[in-house]
Amino acid sequence: MSNYLNYIGGRWTESSTGEKHEHFNPAKPSESIGFTQVSSIEDVKEAVQHAKIAFSDWKQRSSVERGDILRKAADFLEENVQEIAEIATKEMGKRIVETKGEVLRGAMILRYFAQEGMRKTGEMLPSANPKNTLYTTRVPVGVVSVISPWNFPIAIPIWKIAPALVYGNTVVWKPAQDTGISAVKIAEVFEKAGLPAGVLNLVNGRGSALGNSIVEHEDVAAITFTGSNEVGRAIGIRAVAQNKKFQLELGGKNPVVVLKDADIDLAAKLTIEGSMKQTGQRCTATSRVYVEEAIYDLFMEKIIGIVKDIKVGDGINESVTMGPVASKKQYETVCSYIEKGIEEGGNLYYGGKTLEGPDYQGGYFIEPTIFENVTNEMTIAKEEIFGPVLAVIRVTNYEEALEKANDTIYG
């Protein structure tokens, strides 16, 4: 079984703890797909130190040169699309069609920011004194900490790493532990593209153990994080206390509003795509829909017709239209929300069961689930579920729909 290493200072290295994390396929939990490192705070300190040293040279290089490296990385990413997509699918269950699309999206992001290296980096401005020259120029901030999630293990970290690099910053990257193998494959792409040693450093491990050290290290100038609201708030507080730049992409509880003059077939199609695609594991997933009373019954009929055609199974199988949830922990979380929806009086209109038997090999499969008779006071209408669960809420008109859609901490 492969042992995937950290990437620190241009070297592939084991964690100083000697501890490893074993990865299992959520579609078949008996299938081990490899080991990644469980890094320590000492590993983080080493990574930051290498990034700090590398920054002195990297910031002096032409942005055009930095962009060329990103362009080469895009080429390598495309050349290895099948391998990287299969690893991501086996790590977190997303369908192979979606992980391939994510790899290709990552290449597009790299090319976009490669071109940013050709753009102007400042301005010349007029002065009241003819002997003076006024100008502005953009400069990199230094070492950037990238903390990325498991649900988009390729596109989101590249979204963060590419702009940081092309603008002259160096990076210490801590991916979600569940998708650490995918992260190693991305780091390999940057290494092949000729990124100098220390410019990108990868440490795998538990966010709970490493998060504070990554955020609070005195040589880290900026933090970019995608994940839960709870963790994001804690990062923001620490970043503000240390006067660091920070960027947070957190959760949501995204509504759809369907009115009586809508194209009902299109509305139903987009609602189910938004709620069930990637098994609902997106911060932009549709998790509640407000439907005007006059077309409520017709809309329910349409979405059930679409949901019945969803084929649940192993994401490697290209005929499957919905894979498993990403992990046992996520499986238990989604199941608990379904139970709470029933307990609080929601009508389980469709699905809601876990899928078992020889076709599912003990995987973390949950049926597409639709609740109706949901109120805004119910937990499933208020909290982010991150699973294939849709709450349908009847409203009398647009004004009521808008009011209820905004009646949330995310509004």
pLDDT digits (tens, 9 = 90+) for 168-218: 999 999 999 999 999 999 999 999 999 999 999 999 999 988 989 999 999
- Residue 171 · residue 142 · CB < 8 Å: no
Q: Which of 91, 98, 283, 335 is catalytic?
A: 283
Size of the chain in residues: 411
Residue that has been written with the tokens 């055609």 in this structure? 309
Residue 283 is among the residues annotated as catalytic for this protein: yes
Query: What is residue 32's three-state secondary structure?
Result: strand
Give 261-286 pLDDT, tens digit per residue.
Answer: 999 999 999 999 999 999 999 999 99
Pick from 367, 290, 269: which is nearest to 324 by CA? Answer: 367
Starting at the edge strand found earlier in the chain, the sheet holding 220-226 runs 11-13, 6-8, 200-202, 170-174, 143-147, 220-226, 245-249
Res 125 pLDDT > 80 = yes
Cα–Cα distance for residue pair 231/181, rounded to 1 Å: 23
- Residue 18 CB coordination number (10 Å): 9
- Give me the half-sphere count of Cα atoms (radius 13 Å) on the Cβ side of residue 329: 5
Look at residue 408 in the predicted model and tell me its pLDDT.
87
- Residue 223 · residue 243 · CB < 8 Å: no
Amino acid (one-letter) located at 308: K
Backbone angles phi, psi at 56, to 5 degrees: -55, -40
Tell me how many helices (H) and strands (E) the chain has. Answer: 13, 16
Mean pLDDT confidence for 358-386: 96
- Residue 143 · residue 224 · CB < 8 Å: no
Q: Which of 249, 344, 383, 400 is catalytic?
A: 249
Query: pLDDT band at residue 297, thresholds of 50, 70 and 90?
Result: very high
Pick from 275, 263, 350, 338: which is nearest to 305 by CA? Answer: 350
In the chain, what is the straight-line distance between the N-terminal and C-terminal CA atoms, in Å? 46
Residue that has been written with the tokens 């839960």 in this structure? 228
CATH 3.40.309.10 domain extents, the chain: 254-405
Domain 6-249, CATH number (from 3.90.950.10, 3.30.70.890, 3.40.605.10, 3.30.930.10): 3.40.605.10
Please list, in sequence order, all residues whose beta carbon lies within 8 angstroms of the beta carbon of residue 233, skipping any fewer than 6 positions away.
Answer: none
Query: What is residue 88's three-state secondary structure?
Result: helix
Look at residue 173 in the predicted model and tell me its pLDDT.
98
Mean pLDDT across the chain: 96
Domain 254-405, CATH number (from 3.20.20.70, 3.40.190.10, 1.10.10.60, 3.40.309.10): 3.40.309.10
Please list, in sequence order, all residues whose beta carbon lies within 8 angstroms of the beta carbon of residue 388, skipping any fewer than 6 positions away.
Answer: 275, 276, 279, 280, 322, 325, 334, 351, 366, 367, 368, 369
Amino acid (one-letter) located at 389: V
pTM metric for this prediction: 0.94
Please list, in sequence order, all residues whose beta carbon lies within 8 angstroms of the beta carbon of residue 219, skipping any fewer than 6 positions away.
Answer: 48, 49, 51, 52, 142, 143
CATH 3.40.605.10 domain extents, the chain: 6-249
What percent of the chain shows pLDDT beyond 90?
96
Residue 399 is among the residues annotated as catalytic for this protein: no
Cα–Cα distance for residue pair 346/388, rounded to 1 Å: 16
Pick from 299, 261, 186, 295: which is nearest to 173 by CA? Answer: 186
Cα–Cα distance for residue pair 382/404, rounded to 1 Å: 11
Query: pLDDT band at residue 42, thresholds of 50, 70 and 90?
Result: very high
